[in-house]
Structure 1
Amino acid sequence: MIDLRSDTVTQPTTAMRQAMAQAVVGDDVYGEDKTVTKLEETAAQMLGKEAGLFVTSGTQGNQVAILTHTKRGEEVIVEADAHVFYYEVGAMAALGGLQTRPIAGERGMMPLTAMEEAIRPQNIHFPETGLICLENTHNRAGGTVLPLSYMQSVKELADRNHIPVHLDGARLFNAVVASGISAKEYAATVDSVQFCLSKGLAAPVGSVLVGTAEFIEKARKWRKMLGGGMRQAGVIAAPGLIALTQMVDRLADDHVRAKRLAQGLANIRGIVVDVDRVETNIVIADVRDSGLTPDEFLATLSECGVLAAGFGGTLVRFVTHVDITDDHIDETIAAAAFTTRMR
């Protein structure tokens, strides 16, 4: 099957598998796993932060960051389609006793005026605004890249109001490759960053959270409370090091293939794709004019050997990654064309 459901389906490379087998390990809860320590230090250095923390997933990294930044009863400003709001099982409320303040954005960006208006004034009736969360690239906006200037403006607004900013950078390195702006420059606009090793960077598991040394020390305790204290974790940190050092530049190939896929799908009658909005490795197609429901479209596509994912309403998502080739893109376009003819 040609699996375009997500970039989480990638298989570890041969080098990653070898690194897993040969990793130097120790008990990370005791701080004795040298491979984990190297991964955390490498990640922190790449993003220009003081320290890093290896976590099991992007969701765990985001929630550890949010819990570290806030206290119960506070409010967190989020974009209305942000991953931390849309896909993390209400964790802010369930785990942190936090209220979310979603703001509808355009291409993943909350309007600065709306964000400023959402910051709570001191009043006995209101919760305090404890955190602003950004997402770059923005998944539900189609993998769009938040401009550095926008993130700088958000940080200036947050600093004026003494509010920290957390970045869900699950696909931050896609933004880096697409924009030419370094990870350090993006990270300088926020107080903490979580990025995934297990998406476009193709490691089998894990994310890293970075911030100040004091912040990471507190975050480490939250990670333990959430069951994320791992023991001989070097076996999964080792492929993460390869992901960071060898898999970043090749993300450009995924972006080129996503654009070509978008153009091919847009030329099929009954499928609508905004090709100009495809900036990284995510393609969102609207199949409402095909005469098929998304479920019908996906079922027939699967019979043709291609997997994609429903994305709400009449939308279908395709995500390119390291295991997708040029031939796969051609086959996917042909399968989609066949699928629309079968209605």
Structure 2
Amino acid sequence: MYAPTPPNPDAPPLRINLYSDTQTRPTRAMREAMLNAEVGDEQLGLDPTINALCARVARLLGKEAAIFLPSGAMCNSIAILTHCRPGDEIIAHESAHIIEAEGGAPWALAGARVHGLPGARGFFSADDLRASLRGASRYAAPQTLLEIEQTSNLGGGAVWPLATLQELAGIAHEAGMATHMDGARLMNAVVASGVAAADYAAPFDTVWIDFTKGLGAPLGAVLAGSAATIDQAWHWKQRLGGSLRQAGICAAGCLYALDHHVDRLAEDHANAKRLAEGLAGVAGIVIEPPDTNLVYADVATSGRTPGAWAESLRAQGIMVSVMGRTRLRLCTHLDVSAADIEETIAAFAAIN
């Protein structure tokens, strides 16, 4: 599903990087904050900057405790390992990141399978969830975890409505299941909808936010939940080699991002909207209107494959993602300006 443009030594220098918001680079001010960070042994709880970040994220998400981890994928894996046992079943959308982009980690690490539910824009309904529940049976895998991705990446960066999340989590809890939110782009949902992060997180037993996407830090994610759950998560962090030493250098970048890079996500959303409007005028391209910072372009009727589009754009110094057989993904972030958007629109029109 994720297919980066192959390196081309003859391609011109990369000027506009719309491949992913993971491509953001720490700003000079963020680097200075990292340089000046107080540090200590994170594994022993002695890093004051890590401790400050975890406490702040726990408050932001309305949870008792939080744990700093190197990546969002590790947050998902540790949450799954904490909630599930070998042979268990997780219910998620069929396009969920834990299915499509984490190397089969639920199966490989936790021994848990993922049952993917269909639905447009990465969503499924309360009726879909109810229909997937089997009840206790000695013949079937125990269904122990509901997983939701906010925003839905392969759903076009779509924002789950709060009422839907509350209803789904309620059904899962009533069925005896735990609930987990993959909040890789949760702050994009917060900025786009005006709903507080704690409100989105409230129905979920565990939730995390990533600092390496739109928030622009070079490293780090924070998983939050009850104190007991995070205590269990620490065991898995230790087992997986995620315990760190003077990681406050990284946490300082995350704290800087919370102070300076959340509100500005609205700029990314505005740039994505403008990009979608511009590309909608290019013959043979069908645009999925964006909720946030992800623009998906279906090029099936353009006469060119997504790979051919990506190659032609890369020849002009523009990098995009190839997403499957017919789609391109263009992701706006803090290293993409409004002028870059106009240049990209013009490049598409010129190729066509």
**TM over 0.5, yes or no?**
yes
TM-score (norm 2): 0.95
Give per-residue Cα distances to partners, 1:256-287, cap 9 Å, x unaligned: 00000000000011211133xx1100000011
| One-letter code aligned to 2:329 | R
Q: In the aligned structure 2, how far is the partner of 1:197 from the partner of 1:111? A: 29
| One-letter code aligned to 2:111 | G
Residue 308 (structure 1) aligned with residue 284 (structure 2): no
Q: In the aligned structure 1, how far is the partner of 2:48 from the partner of 2:106? A: 32
Residue 338 (structure 1) aligned with residue 343 (structure 2): no
Give the equivalent residue in structure 1 for 2:172.
158
Residue 23 (structure 1) aligned with residue 37 (structure 2): yes
**Cα deviation, residue 107, structure 1:** 1.8
Count of aligned pairs between the two proteins: 338
**What are structure 1's unaligned runs of at least 5 residues?**
none
Q: In the aligned structure 2, how far is the partner of 1:238 from the partner of 1:6? A: 23
**Cα deviation, residue 234, structure 1:** 0.6
TM-score (norm 1): 0.97
Residue 317 (structure 1) aligned with residue 319 (structure 2): no
Q: In the aligned structure 1, how far is the partner of 2:18 from the partner of 2:74? A: 24
Give per-residue Cα distances to partners, 1:207-230, cap 9 Å, x unaligned: 110001111011011011111111
**Cα deviation, residue 117, structure 1:** 2.2
Give per-residue Cα distances to partners, 1:106-131, cap 9 Å, x unaligned: 22212212211222322211111110
| One-letter code aligned to 1:288 | A
Q: 2:192 aligns with which of 153, 159, 178?
A: 178
Name the SS for the 2:188 alignment partner.
Answer: helix
Moved over 6 A (4+): none
Q: In the aligned structure 2, how far is the partner of 1:287 from the partner of 1:159? A: 41
Give the equivalent residue in structure 2 for 1:200.
214
**Cα deviation, residue 78, structure 1:** 1.0
**Cα deviation, residue 13, structure 1:** 1.2
Give the equivalent residue in structure 1 for 2:46.
32
The answer (yes or no) to whether the contact 1:27–1:230 under 8 Å persists in 2 is yes
Q: In the aligned structure 2, how far is the partner of 1:123 from the partner of 1:256? A: 49
Give the equivalent residue in structure 2 for 1:48.
62
Identity between Structure 1 and Structure 2 (%): 44
Name the SS for the 1:210 alignment partner.
Answer: strand
Residue 279 (structure 1) aligned with residue 291 (structure 2): yes
Residue 299 (structure 1) aligned with residue 311 (structure 2): yes
Q: Which moved more, 1:143-152 or 1:223-232?
A: 223-232
Q: CA RMSD in A?
A: 0.9
Q: How does 1:1-343 map to 2 (within 5 A)?
A: 1-275=15-289, 278-340=290-352
Name the SS for the 2:297 alignment partner.
Answer: strand
**Cα deviation, residue 70, structure 1:** 1.2
**What are structure 2's unaligned runs of at least 5 residues?**
1-14
